[in-house]
Amino acid sequence: MEAARFPAEDSEGRDARIVGSELVENYTVYIIQVKADFHQWTVKHRYSDFHDLHEKLTGEKMVDKNLLPPKKIIGKNSRSLVEKRQKELEVYLQTLLAKFPTATPKVLSSFLHFHLYEINGITAALSEELFHRGEQLLLAGEVFNIRPLQLYAITQQLRKGKPTCVNGDAKTDLGHILDFTCRLKYLKISGTRGPVGTSNIQEHLLPFDLSVFKSLQQIEINHCEAKHIQGLISSKPTLATLSIQFSAASMKDILVPEASEFDHWEPECPVLECPVTAIVPTWKSLTTLDMSHNWISNIDDSVKLIRKIEFLDLSHNEISTVENLQHLYNLIHLDLSYNKLASLEGVHAKLGNIKTLNLAGNLLESLCGLNKLYSLVNLDLSNNKIEQIEEIRNIGRLPCLEKLVLSNNPLTIIPDYRTKVLAKFWDRASEVCLDNTSTTEKELDTVEVLKAIEKAKEAKNKANNSNKKISEDSRLTASSSKANCSSLNARPSSPSLPRPVSSSKGNHVLKYTNGVGP
């Protein structure tokens, strides 16, 4: 079946044709192909369904009683009769659609499944539902579930600029939807991959506008292409919790979709030191963001717009580096499980106040980078590639760590793995819950032995290092003394003084054998 396209303008084209039939038990079912705009779907009905529809239309809408072909008792399933009736029923349906070009009666809309696939039918059905239950739902504070196809229909109806009630029934007025969406606080949008029902509609590709929602505090969106989600940023002032799954390839697509329109942008702030082409409003109330199960490869600078975030879930993505999180001063719970992290170097500089950190299902071999997360309480490192017990030294001195999960790492097959890990926490071993199992008294006794052995080793190493230093100092002193002695022995003699000699004559005249006389 051909994939659905989305027209720039509503075409109002509707058609119904019977494309075949099936024999079910002892009666014939007719296969109807219905088209509305660029959408098409199939409906199956037996003749008795047509008869019931006709009875209602003749009573309510003054349809000609002779329009429907008559019943046949004998030979009703014969090939010739079925083919003849198929053509007659097709004419019947096309006559009805021509008679009601816009205001389709509810019974006919239901018969042709307009309430499931056609814009007017979808909005009329939703309006009537909210007419009856809308106020109750709002007062109860319940999460309201809606499909992307319904949001698409609402968006298209509003863009047409036509009367909000086309069939004369006040209960189906679009105003009931608009009143409800203005006041709704909790919304869930659940899409699907692949065709919807018997139609050619690819729901995850349908564009829709969320700007009709004015008071949202929580929204969850699943299986909707991020580029087709419009108007979400209108909820920036009120939205506290945002969940987007199976929908986005980047955080920026959701948090700052307008970024693609500008060369350089910055979040609004009192002082801007560099020239920008756009100032983007921040998410003023957002404290929880769940963008798990997407195709996100990096944590981009759009996080500068969500500085009040406390809970951030980016699990089940394709992230290989922890970056830009230094902008989230209030972040205390972070889930980066099942990504592609292989290194944690410098993480402490970006996660200063973190309390819960989930790093399960990554590619980690070393825990270097976690040693300064002094606020950390819960740490999940399961399903990584950690082999060495010595790596635990990087977290063994963390003063607040209470829960640690290391299951499904290579080091867990080491004999006495639990006690060897707990021993790295020294005096806090009894406070640590390892792999969701509390420490036993027997383990603590073994830990004390291991600690004593470790302390003895450290003392021995310290002594050896001290002796080595003393020995080195002695050698240096000896070498220095020997050098001094050698220097003294090699000192040059003083030059001889000039010696006076006597003259052979009577007059005594002093002469100098060396140099010139005075």
pLDDT on residue 61? 76
Of 151-165, 293-307, 346-360, the poorest mean pLDDT is in 151-165
For residue 453, the model assigns a pLDDT of 76
pLDDT at position 446 is 87
Say how far apart CA 64 and CA 426 lie, in whole Å: 91
What phi and psi, each to the nearest 5 degrees, are found at residue 511? Answer: -125, 155
Helix axes 119-140, 175-183, angle to 10 degrees: 40
Average pLDDT over residues 21-27: 86
Exposed e or buried b per residue across 149-182, where buried means at least 16 C-beta atoms within 10 angstroms of its C-beta: bbbbbbbbbbeeeeeebbbeeeebbbebbbbbbe
Indicate whether 63 belongs to any domain. Answer: yes
Mean pLDDT of 129-133: 94
For the chain, the distance separating the N- and C-terminal CA atoms, rounded to the nearest angstrom, is 129
Q: Which residue has the higher pLDDT, 295 or 82?
A: 295
- Residue 499: the pLDDT is 42
Helix H, strand E, coil C: the string for 355-397 is CEEECCCCCCCCCCCCCCCCCCCEEECCCCCCCCHHHHHHHHC
For residue 496, pLDDT over 50 is answered with no
CA distance 128 to 216: 22
Residues 115-129 as b/e (b if ≥16 CB within 10 A, e otherwise) read bbbbbbbbbbbbbbb
Identify the H or E element spanning 260. Answer: none
Report the CATH number at residue 32: 3.30.1520.10
511 confidence band (pLDDT: 50, 70, 90): very low
Domain that holds residue 37: 14-103
Return d(Cα 76, Cα 41) in angstroms, integer.
Answer: 27
pLDDT given at position 83: 87
Distance of CA 493 to the CA centre of its chain: 88
Query: Three-class SS string for 321-338?
Result: CCCCHHHCCCCCEEECCC
The Cα–Cα gap between 311 and 302 comes to 16
Residue 273: the pLDDT is 59
Q: Are residues 513 and 501 in contact, defined by beta-carbon separation less than 8 angstroms? A: yes
Q: Does residue 70 belong to any structural domain of this protein? A: yes
DSSP letter at 416 equals T
- pLDDT band of residue 397 (cuts 50, 70, 90) is very high
Q: Measure the CA dihedral 81/87/90/92, to 10°.
A: -80
Q: Looking at the predicted structure, is the pLDDT value of residue 439 above 80?
A: yes
Report the b/e string of 268-277 with b at 16+ CB within 10 A. Answer: eeeeeeeeee
b/e per residue 208-238 (b: at least 16 CB within 10 A): bbbebbeebebbbbbbbbbebbeebbbbbeb
Supply 506's token pair: 């009577």
pLDDT-based confidence at 475, cuts 50/70/90? low
- Is residue 352 predicted with pLDDT exceeding 90? no
Whether the pLDDT of residue 403 is over 70: the answer is: yes
Q: What is the CA radius of gyration of the chain?
A: 42
Is 97 a domain residue? yes
What integer is the mean pLDDT of 270-280? 64
Task: Decide: helix, strand or coil at residue 517.
Answer: coil
Q: Over 90: is that where the pLDDT of 8 sits?
A: no
Count of CB atoms situated within 10 Å of the CB of 137: 17
Per the DSSP assignment, residues forming a β-bridge with 437 are 434
Of all residues in the chain, the percent with pLDDT exceeding 90 is: 61
Number of independent structural domains in the chain? 1
Interatomic CA distance for residues 93 and 67, integer angstroms = 10
Strands 186-190 and 218-222, how do they pair? parallel
What average pLDDT does range 314-321 have in this prediction?
Answer: 97
So what's the pLDDT on residue 506? 41
The pLDDT value recorded for residue 135 is 94
> Is residue 92 in some structural domain?
yes
Q: Are strands 333-335 and 186-190 parallel, antiparallel or unpaired?
A: unpaired
Mean per-residue pLDDT over the chain, rounded = 84
More confident call, 342 vs 268: 342
Token pair for residue 211? 């700007």
- Count Cα neighbours of 52 within 13 Å in the Cβ-side half-sphere: 8
What pLDDT score does 510 carry? 37
pLDDT category at 214 given cuts 50, 70, 90 is very high
Residue 235, in any domain of the structure:
no
Checking if the pLDDT of 127 tops 70, the result is yes
Q: In angstroms, rounded to a whole number, what is the distance separating the alpha carbons of residues 100 and 169?
A: 14
Is there a domain that residue 224 lies in? no
Mean pLDDT of 280-285: 91
380 lies in some domain? no
Q: What's the whole-number mean pLDDT along residues 363-375?
A: 94
Quickly state the pLDDT bin for 449 (edges 50, 70, 90): confident
Alpha carbon separation from 450 to 44, 130, 404, 457, 460 (Å, rounded) = 75, 68, 20, 10, 15
Higher pLDDT, 496 or 318: 318
* Residue 492 clears pLDDT 80, i.e. is over it: no
Q: Round to whole Å and give the CA distance between 163 and 47.
A: 35
Q: What is the pLDDT of residues 226-266, one digit of tens each?
A: 999 999 999 999 999 999 999 999 999 999 987 766 666 67
Tracing tokens 């659905």 back to the chain, one arrives at: 4
pLDDT digits (tens, 9 = 90+) for 156-208: 999 887 666 655 678 888 999 999 999 999 999 999 989 999 999 999 999 99
Task: Give the 3-state DSSP-derived string for 298-366, with helices as H, strands as E and coil as C.
Answer: CCCHHHHHCCCCCEEECCCCCCCCCCCHHHCCCCCEEECCCCCCCCCCCHHHCCCCCCEEECCCCCCCC
In 10 A of CB 297, how many CB atoms?
Answer: 15
pLDDT of residue 73: 60
pLDDT at 59: 84
Lowest mean pLDDT among 61-75, 112-126, 297-311, 486-500: 486-500
Tell me, what amino acid is at 114? Answer: F
pLDDT, mean of residues 317-342: 96
